[in-house]
Amino acid sequence: MSLRFGLLGLLSYQDMTGYDLKKAADATIGGFWDAQASQIYRELNYMEDLGWLTSVIEFQTDRPNRRIYSVTSSGHQAFLQWLLENHTDKGHLNKSVFMMKIFFSGEHSTAENIRVFQQFKKNCEIKLAELESKNKQDFPFGMTRDNHPDQALYWEFTDNFAKAYYKLCLTWANDCVAALEKRLAS
């Protein structure tokens, strides 16, 4: 359900197609919210049924037609109401498949578990590199710090959180690998 409101937030900056929304989501909220294209389109259809969005077809002769989505006043009101709801949640560790698997990893060999942690580290390094390579000044589709100065501070907060999270994961995974390697050596 939060994806729905993330999409409303992105559409509050400007009207976009589903394809453009996927690119915007990856470039902005992607550090802390992974959204598949199929999820985005499902949410767009649902919000249009609710009356939170409208869409128009832009006919094109040289390419496929585009459906451009816009937030309605009721959609914007729903978004603003969602922003006021209780901000604190149980955090993303409340339901982590990865942590559940780690908890029971004593069922595997130490060598296999080292491989699991090394893959986890690799995934974190890739995500961190993506976050650090982003242009800190601009976001997609004309969403710049200059034309959205109030929001830009909060964009930076979320970028910093995502980077700190992946750095913490790397430190934790390194500690786990070191402990497992020590166990193998003894």
For the question of whether the overall pTM of this predicted structure is more than 0.85, the answer is no
Per-residue pLDDT, 104: 87
Per-residue pLDDT, 54: 98
Q: What is the DSSP string of the chain?
A: -HHHHHHHHHHHHS-EEHHHHHHHHHHTGGGT----HHHHHHHHHHHHHHTSEEEEEE--SSS--EEEEEE-HHHHHHHHHHHHS----S-TTTT-HHHHHHHTGGGS-HHHHHHHHHHHHHHHHHHHHHHHHS-SSB-STT-BTTT-HHHHHHHHHHHHHHHHHHHHHHHHHHHHHHHHHHHHH-
Model confidence pLDDT, tens digit, residues 39-56: 999 999 999 999 999 999
Residue 70's pLDDT band, with cuts at 50, 70 and 90, is very high
Q: Stretch 129-151: mean pLDDT, rounded?
A: 73
- Mean pLDDT value across the chain: 88
Per-residue pLDDT, 126: 93
Residue 83's pLDDT band, with cuts at 50, 70 and 90, is confident
Residue 165's pLDDT band, with cuts at 50, 70 and 90, is very high
Residue 89 or residue 170, greater confidence: 170
Per-residue pLDDT, 134: 74
Q: Stretch 9-16: mean pLDDT, rounded?
A: 92
Q: Stretch 34-38: mean pLDDT, rounded?
A: 92
